[in-house]
Structure 1
């Protein structure tokens, strides 16, 4: 029995050692303005704990048993921040791909797939600004997905929904193709409240977290088949790239020819061999201040406070400062975020509108109510 368990452990370690993390770190994170800005996006900020979300993502991959150096894709404007944070967690990437501009996830994943150590390398795509609390469960889900990915399936990880969220896209599962793994019947656009509730009631629907496992060559061929303009631009940008040690700076003009589109729209919705592993891993994309309040530590009055904050008779607030003192008396259901440069005040439940406010602040001539 001991020998059997040891052999299984060895197979697990060997499979996890074959995986290369691809960490996407090009987002702007303006939904968490004013703390997160275009100059310092949320993945570089320690929103929960002492390490940034990017650092937590790198360490989480290690904790699952993945040993290979990651491929990191980031905006060239953030390279100094990223390299500093990599040093703090002793991470030397296999490739650091510096996007000259943001073009969404399809061009980023195309370049990462082309830069993989071998064509058959297994790549695990991880957004750099999410949290996963149950790392052991996440590692088990990756292990479950590996055999299918080795066989040429592109695997996504569907988050078991806790409530009918309208801010996420959903994955509708189809027939079971392996124990606990189903093929993907459809990707569902962000639903209204009624549709989201119906999907939760029906079952078989999962939040799309943007986490994928696939072989590099399979993804390259899928992009070639379904988004050839994305692949052509990525190939040309890499052919003309400036390379130094592990750093790759794609050619700006060639990269600019890539359509700005997500891997979901460009490939996953159109490909045939796409599978979903349902998971309950304590996941959040921290896409708003309300979401941060939901997953962060709160006091007995449901207040989440961080920094120099004093509260008297307040309930259900998020109060965070990296600048001067926040002091409140008798307020409830409020978001107050203070930095040395700006102050955000909003009612709880309206934090999805912060992106529009950030755009208004960055472009004062833009009408703040234009998307209502």
Structure 2
């Protein structure tokens, strides 16, 4: 392991995860659910960045979820260094700024991770962190580029520069917006692009320094919100009025696309953002009939289905194929596989 200060994990847990309705809801979003294992997505995220090389994590979350976040981390014997409870959502760049201030604004490396992603090859993830650390210590902002296996149009992409800065680490050539299909196919075929998985490693002071150059209003608002914050044990309540004045922007737009010293570590680590029920089916281990079932499910002559049911709710399928069936509370979702991105349309229709 390279010589370095302990790494502070920063877990971003503010999302609402509506694409996995009806199980994921505002009061208990996707990261607080057990979708891929017995443990919740948040617990799995925290555990993959725990051990002697890491400090206790800083978690940035919605105030409504404070009790659940603390309970779930305690269940896996993890405590938080700080639980920052955002008064309002302002996207990832301000959330990370709050965490950088809470970490001490110094030279400690911060590993920024969404709370609701899957990484099945944790050893590969840790090896990528080792590759990045020497450059991070020199002040580079590093992102982890996911080795792509399909022409995905739902992700941003990263063009990997030819210049290798250190073994396995390249300068970022450019960030690419979510592309149309033909562009995604060309980038996949080129072999020099990666998916932008939204996982970053950099020093707190270098991130705040980049904000001071490229998004100074955001830095001022975040620092004022933390200066005036209310504290209860590990819980930090940033000042609502100060934070409301903060521009809303992603770390990609606010910093990574503009800063001069940005590097990427391409890594194949079994990553998925589990962004839909179809994605969950794709990363799960199906039975002999291609079915992925969780809960009290009876399936007769059913093939290639995903069935997810809460305790106490029985689902029975006969003679069907390629269906997604999810039962949660009083709600039942049924749709063909391949159409799970349309859950967003359902949510909008129900709001109306």
How does the TM-score come out when normalised to structure 2?
0.97
Q: Which of 322, 326, 330 is 1:333 aligned to? A: 322
Q: Which of 44, 52, 63 is 2:32 aligned to? A: 44
Q: Does structure 2 retain, via aligned residues, the 8 Å contact 1:160–1:206?
A: yes
Q: Does structure 2 retain, via aligned residues, the 8 Å contact 1:34–1:358?
A: no
For residue 137 of structure 1, what is the aligned residue in structure 2?
A: 124
Shift of 1:118: 5.2
Alignment of structure 1 residues 235-314 onto 2, 5 Å: 235-314=223-302
Q: Deviations over 1:292-349 (max 9, x none)?
A: 0000120112111110111111111111110521111111111110012211111111
- Larger mean CA deviation between 158-167 and 17-26 belongs to 17-26
For residue 91 of structure 2, what is the aligned residue in structure 1?
A: 104
1:360 and 1:98 mapped to 2: Cα distance?
30
For residue 5 of structure 1, what is the aligned residue in structure 2?
A: none
SS at match of 1:62: coil
For residue 208 of structure 1, what is the aligned residue in structure 2?
A: 196
2:65 and 2:345 mapped to 1: Cα distance?
23
1:128 aligns with 2:115: yes
Q: Which of 345, 351, 356 is 2:345 aligned to? A: 356
Q: Does structure 1 retain, via aligned residues, the 8 Å contact 2:70–2:79?
A: no
SS at match of 1:22: strand
1:99 and 1:22 mapped to 2: Cα distance?
14
Shift of 1:236: 1.2
List runs of 5+ in structure 1 lacking aligned partners: 1-10, 366-372
2:288 and 2:180 mapped to 1: Cα distance?
33
Shift of 1:261: 1.2
Instruction: Return structure 1 stretches of 4+ with deviation > 3 angstroms.
Output: none
- Larger mean CA deviation between 244-253 and 196-205 belongs to 244-253
- Larger mean CA deviation between 317-326 and 210-219 belongs to 317-326
SS at match of 1:23: strand
Q: Does structure 1 retain, via aligned residues, the 8 Å contact 2:146–2:268?
A: yes
SS at match of 2:97: helix
Q: Does structure 2 retain, via aligned residues, the 8 Å contact 1:103–1:259?
A: yes
SS at match of 2:49: helix
Shift of 1:245: 2.1
Q: Which of 53, 72, 77 is 2:59 aligned to? A: 72
SS at match of 1:253: helix
For residue 368 of structure 1, what is the aligned residue in structure 2?
A: none
2:109 and 2:326 mapped to 1: Cα distance?
41
1:232 aligns with 2:220: yes
Q: How many residues align?
A: 350
1:24 aligns with 2:8: no
Alignment of structure 1 residues 77-96 onto 2, 5 Å: 77-96=64-83
CA RMSD of aligned residues (A): 1.2
Q: Deviations over 1:1-27 (max 9, x none)?
A: xxxxxxxxxx44x53x62110011110
How does the TM-score come out when normalised to structure 1?
0.92
1:201 and 1:23 mapped to 2: Cα distance?
33
Q: Which of 341, 345, 354 is 2:334 aligned to? A: 345
Shift of 1:97: 0.5
Q: Which of 145, 151, 156 is 1:169 aligned to? A: 156
1:79 and 1:357 mapped to 2: Cα distance?
28
Shift of 1:67: 3.0
1:316 aligns with 2:272: no
Shift of 1:167: 0.8
Shift of 1:29: 0.4
Q: Deviations over 1:191-231 (max 9, x none)?
A: 11111110011111001110000000000010111111211
Q: Deviations over 1:241-264 (max 9, x none)?
A: 101222210011111111221101
- Larger mean CA deviation between 321-330 and 70-79 belongs to 321-330
